[in-house]
Amino acid sequence: MLRLFIAVELDPEIRERLAAIHECLPASTVRWVRPENLHLTLKFLGEVPQERILQIREALERVAHQHSPLEFVLEGVGAFPDFKRPAVLWVGVSSGQEALRRLARHLERELEGLGARPDKRGFLGHVTLGRVTRPGQAPLPEQAIRSLASGPLGTGRVAEFCLFSSQLQPTGPVYSVLHRFPLGAPAQAALRPGDSGPHIRRRSGVPPRRTRD
């Protein structure tokens, strides 16, 4: 069994801007995601049998072939469930939310026939920044956090999405890119051999309830 999710990688410049938000809180308050590990999840698949990977790849290839590259703007910091009882900090998507939603919905339709569970809450594009170490016990300095993210934090371009595996380790999940799916690419592009990425180690803990990778 493989623990899988589908996500968009972020440019290094955007990752560094998001990392600047860390400066207003000590590491003992929030377990921050390392900048190189930040991503935007499109669909969490959970535990998947190895023999189903080819079918998933073919489904993702069909979706990618029917969508053109798109752009989105990261803007606005929030907390789940809220800043008075924070458990997870995230940054949202302003411009480009609807295009990302269409892509996520298409992925869900294609994968539902392969046993993927639909997300009853619906898709909301965001990037997890970190998890509060003592959720619900004390409010976070909301104004200080928002002041560091008072405007757009960067524009991302989605030219492809990736199928990730997530291996749970004592030090945190290890992410690996299994396959990349260029948007608008010919049908065979996603099935080229040797298309794997490096292992990515993550310290942040569990992402927000809308994404569970």
Q: Which residues are catalytic?
A: 39, 126
* Cβ neighbours of residue 194 closer than 8 Å, sequence gap 6 or more: none
To 10 degrees, the CA torsion angle through 126, 24, 131, 160?
30
- Residue owning tokens 């016990």: 137
> What are the residues facing 174 on neighbouring strands?
167, 201
- In the three-class reduction of DSSP (H, G, I as helix; E, B as strand; rest coil), residue 110 is classed as helix
Instruction: For residues 99 and 164, give the distance between their C-alpha atoms in angstroms, rounded to a whole number.
Output: 21
Instruction: For residues 207 and 147, give the distance between their C-alpha atoms in angstroms, rounded to a whole number.
Output: 23
